[in-house]
Structure 1
Amino acid sequence: MISRRLLPLIAVLPAAAPLAASVAAAEASRPLVDPGFAIERMDLSVAPGTDFARFAAGKWYETTQIPADKSRWGGFDELREQNWAALREIVEETAAQPAAAGSVPQKVGDFYASAMDTARINALGLKPIEADLAAIADAKDKEALFHQVAQMHLRIGSPFLGLAFFPDQKQSDVYGFYLFQGGLSLPSKEYYFSEKFARERWEFVGHVAKMLELAGEPRAAAFQQAETVFALEKALAENAKLPVELRDRLANYNKMTIDAAASAYAGLPLKQLVQELGVPATVRDVIVGQPKFFEGLSKELQARSLDELKVYTRWQLLRAAAPLLSEPLEAESFRFYGTVLNGTPQQEPRWQRATKAVDGAIGEALGQLYVEKRFPPAARARMMELIENVKAVMRDRLAQLEWMTEPTRQKALEKFSRFRAMIGYPAKWRDYSSVEIKRDDYFGNAARAAYFNSRRVIDRLGRKVDKDEWGMTPPTVNAYFSSVTNQIVFPAGILQPPFFDVRMDDAVNYGAIAAVIGHEITHGFDDQGRRSDADGNLVDWWTPEDEARFKERAQMLVAQYNSYEALPGLHVNGQLTLGENIADLGGVSIAFEALQRSLRGQPTPPKIDGFTAEQRFFISWAQQWRTQFRDDALRLQVARDPHAPGNIRAFGPLVNFQPFYDAFAVKEGDRMWRSPAQRAKIW
Structure 2
Amino acid sequence: MASKILNNMDLKIDPCTDFYSFTCGNFMKNTPVPADEYIVSSFQDAQKQVLLQLRNLLEERSTSKELLPFKLVKNFYKSCMNTTAIEADGLKTIKIILSSLNGWPVIEGDEWYYAKFDWKQAMYTLRNIGFSANYLIKLDVIIDLQNSSLRVISLDQADFGINRRNLINGFNDSVVQSYYNYMVDVAEILGANRSQALVELAESLKLEMELAKISWSPSQRQEEKLMYNPITVLKLQNEYPNTNWKKYIKYILDIPGFQVSDDDIVVLRIPKYLNDLEDLLQETSKRVQANYIMWRVLLSTTQYLNVQLRNRRLEFYKEVYGEQRSKSLWKECVTNTILNFWESLSNLYMRKHSHNQAKRTINTMFTKIGANFVNLIKKSKWMDNETKEHAYEKSAGMPYYTTHSDEMDDKTLLNFYSTLTFTTNKYLRSVLDVWLFKSNNHFKKIRQPVAKENRQWDVSLVYQMGVPQGLFQGPFFSKDRPNYSNFGAVGSIIGHLITHIFDSHGRQYDKDLELSDWWTNHTKEAYKNVTRCVVGQYNNYTIKEVNMKLNGQRTLDENIADVTGLKVAYLAYTGWAKSRPPEPLLPGLNYTQNQMFWISAASMWCTKYRNEYLTLMALFFPFPPASLRVTGSLSNLPQFAADFKCSTKSVMNKGKKCVVW
Q: Give the distance between the partners of 1:266 and 1:334, measured in 2 at CA.
A: 43
Instruction: Tell me what 1:457 maps to.
Output: 442
Q: 1:543 to 1:248 in 2, by over 3 A?
A: closer
Letter matched to residue 404 of structure 1? M
Q: How many residues align?
A: 636
2:525 to 545, 548, 556: 548
- CA RMSD in angstroms, aligned pairs only: 2.5
Deviates more, 1:408-417 or 1:145-154: 145-154
Aligned to 2:570: 592
Question: How far apart, in 1, do the equivalents of 2:65 and 2:136 lie?
Answer: 41
Matches within 5 A, 1:120-159: 120-137=85-102, 141=115, 144-153=118-127, 155-157=130-132, 158-159=134-135
Normalising by structure 1, report the TM-score.
0.87
From 85, 92, 99, give the equivalent of 2:52: 85
Residues 468 and 114 of structure 1, relative CA distance in 2, 3 Å threshold = farther
Residue 7 of structure 1 corresponds to: none
SS at match of 1:165: strand
Match of 2:248 in 1: 273
**Deviation of residue 318 (structure 1)?**
0.7
Q: Distance in 2 between matches of 1:503 and 1:619?
A: 18
Equivalences for 1:562-577 in 2 at 5 Å?
562-567=539-544, 568-577=546-555
8 Å contact kept, 1:606–1:612? no
> Matched residue of 2:503: which SS?
coil
Report what 1:494 is aligned to. 471
CA distance in 2, matches of 1:49, 1:483: 41
Structure 1 residues 53, 251: CA separation in 2 closer, same or farther (over 3 Å shift)? farther
For residues 433 and 31 of structure 2, the distance between their equivalents in structure 1, rounded to whole angstroms, comes to 41
1:225 — aligned with what?
A: 200
Query: 1:477 maps to what in 2?
Result: none
The one-letter code sitting in structure 1 at the alignment partner of 2:466 is: V
What's the secondary structure of 1:185's corresponding residue? coil
- Mapped partners of 1:511, 1:107: distance in 2: 40
Aligned residue identity for 1:648? L
1:36–1:512 Cα contact (<8 Å) kept? no
Larger mean CA deviation between 101-110 and 326-335 belongs to: 101-110
**TM-fit CA distance, 1:334:** 2.4
How far residue 312 of structure 1 moved from its aligned partner, in angstroms, is 0.9
Tell me the equivalent position of 1:66: 33
Closer/same/farther in 2, CA of residues 593 and 167 from structure 1, 3 Å limit:
same
Q: What pairs up with 1:190-339 in 2 under 5 angstroms?
A: 190-193=166-169, 198-267=173-242, 270-278=245-253, 280=258, 281=260, 284-336=264-316, 338-339=317-318
Q: How far 1:143 sits from its partner (Å)?
A: 6.7
Cα distance in structure 2, aligned partners of 1:426 and 1:432: 20
TM-score (norm: length of structure 2): 0.90
- Conserved in 2, the CA contact under 8 Å of 1:183 and 1:233? no
Shift of 1:592: 0.3
- For residues 509-564 of structure 1, the C-alpha deviation after alignment (integer angstroms, 9 at most, x for no partner) is 11111111111111110110122111111212122212222222223222222222
Q: Name the CA shift for 1:219/1:467 in 2 (closer, same or farther; >3 Å).
A: farther
Aligned to 1:5: none
Structure 1 pair 626/176, CA: closer, same or farther in 2 (3 Å)? farther
How far 1:246 sits from its partner (Å)? Answer: 2.9
Deviation of 1:183 after TM superposition, in Å, equals: 4.1
Distance 1:141 1:542 in 2: 54
Q: Distance in 2 between matches of 1:358 and 1:461?
A: 27
Change (3 A) 1:205 1:262: farther
Name the structure 1 match of 2:427: 442
Q: Mark the CA change 1:226 to 1:102 in structure 2 (over 3 Å): closer, same or farther.
A: farther
Give the Å deviation of 1:634. 1.6
Of the structure 1 ranges 246-255 and 313-322, higher mean CA displacement relative to structure 2 is found in 246-255
Equivalent in 103, 117, 120 of residue 82 of structure 2: 117
Alignment partners' CA distance in 1, 2:486 and 2:425: 45
Q: Aligned partner of 1:522: which letter?
A: T
How far did residue 462 of structure 1 move? 4.2
Matched residue, 2:8 = 41
Aligned to 1:381: 360
Check conservation: 2:501, 2:507, Cα contact below 8 A.
yes
Whole-Å separation in 2 of the counterparts to 1:403 and 1:300 = 46
Q: 1:25 — aligned with what? A: none
Confirm or deny: 8 A CA contact 1:156 1:321 kept in the other structure. no
CA distance in 2, matches of 1:330, 1:67: 19
Q: Verify: 1:176 aligned to 2:143, yes or no.
A: no
- Alpha-carbon distance between aligned partners in 2 of 1:207 and 1:135, rounded to the nearest angstrom: 24
Contact 1:243–1:640 (CA<8 Å) still a contact in 2?
no
| Structure 1 ranges of 4+ moved more than 6 A | 34-37, 470-473
TM-superposed deviation, 1:396? 2.6
Taking structure 1 as reference, are residues 258 and 554 closer, same or farther at Cα in structure 2, changes over 3 Å only? farther
* Partner SS state of residue 310, structure 2: helix
Q: CA deviation at 1:674?
A: 4.0
Match of 2:107?
none
C-alpha distance after superposition, 1:431-461 (max 9, x if no partner): 2221114331321221111111111121112
Match of 1:539 among 509, 516, 529: 516
The equivalent of 1:164 in structure 2 is 140
Match of 2:628 in 1: 648
1:462-521: CA deviation from partner (whole Å, max 9, x where unpaired): 432245558889xxxxxx9x864x641123222212111234211111111111111111
- 1:488 match: secondary structure: coil
Verify: 1:350 aligned to 2:329, yes or no: yes
Matches of 2:443 and 2:323 in 1, distance apart?
36
**Alignment partner, residue 364 of structure 1:** 343
Residues 70 and 536 of structure 1: is their aligned pair in 2 closer, same or farther, counting only changes over 3 Å?
same
User: 1:251 is paired with a residue of what secondary structure?
Assistant: helix
Pair 1:444–1:545, CA change in 2 (3 A): same
Query: In the superposition, relative to structure 1, how do residues 240 and 566 fare at CA in structure 2: closer, same or farther (>3 Å)?
Result: farther
The 5 A counterparts of 1:378-527 are 378-427=357-406, 429=408, 431-467=416-452, 484=462, 487-527=464-504
- Deviation for aligned residue 1:45: 1.1
Residue number among 13, 36, 42 corresponding to 1:75 in the alignment? 42
Q: CA deviation at 1:266?
A: 4.6
CA distance in structure 2 between the aligned counterparts of 1:294 and 1:563, rounded to whole angstroms: 40
Whether the 8 Å CA contact 2:118–2:286 is kept in 1: the answer is: no
Deviations 1:229-251 (A, max 9, x none): 21111111222223333333333
* Contact preservation (8 Å) 1:74, 1:628: yes
Partners of 1:510 and 1:220 lie apart in 2 by 60
- CA distance in 1 between partners of 2:456 and 2:72 (Å): 21
Q: Which residue of 2 aligns with 1:3?
A: none
- Whole-Å separation in 2 of the counterparts to 1:295 and 1:566: 40
Q: CA distance change for structure 1 residues 389 and 400 in 2, over 3 Å: closer, same or farther?
A: same
8 Å CA contact 2:51, 2:331 repeated in 1: yes
- 1:267: Cα distance to partner? 4.8
Q: Do the aligned residues in 2 keep the contact of 1:36 with 1:508 (CA within 8 Å)?
A: no
Of stretches 82-91 and 390-399 in structure 1, the one that deviates more from structure 2 is 390-399
Alpha-carbon distance in 2 for matches of 1:194, 1:53 = 37
Cα distance in 2 for partners of 1:499, 1:414 equals 30
Contact 1:161/1:179, CA 8 A, preserved across alignment: yes
Cα displacement string for residues 307-334 of structure 1 (whole angstroms, at most 9, x for unaligned residues): 1111111111111111111111222122
CA–CA distance in structure 1, aligned partners of residues 2 and 336 of structure 2: 29
CA drift of 1:367 comes to: 0.8
- Go from structure 1 to structure 2 and tell me whether the alpha carbon gap of 1:670 and 1:513 turns closer, same or farther (over 3 Å shift): same
Counterparts of 1:342 and 1:546, CA distance in 2: 41
- Cα distance in 1 for partners of 2:454, 2:40 equals 31
Cα distance change on mapping 1:142 and 1:548 into 2, 3 Å: farther
Cα distance in 2 between the residues matched to 1:570 and 1:264 = 45
**Counterpart Cα distance in 2 of 1:291 and 1:499:** 44
